[in-house]
Amino acid sequence: MSKYRLQPPAEDQNAFTDILFNALLGFVFMFSVAFMLIRPEVTDGKIVPKAEFMITAQWPDGHVDDIDLIVEDGEGNIVWFDTREAGLMHLDRDDRGALGDTMSINGQRIENPLNQEIVTLRGIAAGEYVVNLLHYKSESKRPIDVKLKVEKINPTVSLIFAGNTTLKGAGDEQTAVRFRLDALGNVVDMATRTKFLIRATPNDVKRGGQ
């Protein structure tokens, strides 16, 4: 018979085990609560606006001509294909007419006939903004009508200006609209007086690296 006898655990050992187990349960509970609190908030498809104003130039789908949108702010900064970002302005889309409208993916030909250029104002800076259109390249050798609109998109979308401009051929630059903003982003004045921003001809403008 063994000289060792199994003794029931001491009462103080049972208490220590209970305390340790309860502490573990408390840790797991606090971890679960913390995890639920750091879950990303569900926004139900809510989109946070990334711009204050959007300026859009559009000409007929599938048209071969290349039209450029040029915008100057109150500080003299200019955005167009050669300078895509300046001040608080950004050229979001540079469209070159028929060039680049088709691509091949897995042997399938994909075409996007939309002709559209977009400049966004990512913040509000008081001053006058001049919006010009440039007939950069005329493959059609004919005048072309370009639609232009200015929208205030934050906090809600509202149309500031909409109009048509007829460009007469390569190198033709025309002022579509001029508008002035106050410090709060309100449009306080609007005009169509001509102001050349590029004074370009087909030989003056070169799309470097494009």
Within 23-126, strands assigned E span: 53-59, 66-72, 78-79, 85-86, 89-93, 102-105, 108-111, 115-121
Beta bridge partners of residue 130, listed in sequence order:
72, 178
Q: How confident is the model at residue 47 (pLDDT cuts 50, 70, 90)?
A: very low
Task: Name the residue range of residue 136's domain.
Answer: 53-191
Encoded amino acid at 28, one letter: V
Asked if residue 9 belongs to a domain, the reply is no
Confidence class of residue 208 from pLDDT cuts 50, 70 and 90? very low
* Alpha carbon distances (Å) from 7 to 4, 10, 11: 9, 8, 12
pLDDT digits (tens, 9 = 90+) for 175-205: 999 999 999 999 999 999 999 998 744 445 5
Tell me whether strands 158-167 and 144-152 are parallel, antiparallel or unpaired.
antiparallel
pLDDT for 36: 56
Q: With a threshold of 0.75, does the pTM exceed it?
A: no
Q: Does residue 43 lie in a domain region?
A: no
How many domains does one find in the chain?
1
Tokens read off for 110: 């994909």
Which of the listed ranges 31-40, 47-56, 146-155 does the model predict with the highest average pLDDT? 146-155
The answer to whether residue 75 is domain-embedded is yes
In a domain, 66, yes or no: yes
Range 58-67 average pLDDT: 90
In CATH, what number is assigned to the domain containing residue 64? Answer: 2.60.60.30
Asked if residue 146 belongs to a domain, the reply is yes
Residue 51's nearest CA partner among 119, 122, 117, 125 is 122
Q: Tell me whether residue 44 is in a domain.
A: no
pLDDT of 97-121, one tens digit each? Answer: 445 555 556 666 555 568 899 999 9
Signed CA dihedral, 9, 12, 17, 21: sign only: positive
Residue range 6-29, pLDDT digits in tens: 555 555 556 666 666 666 666 666
Whole-number pLDDT of residue 63: 87
- pLDDT given at position 90: 95
Q: Is residue 177 part of a domain?
A: yes
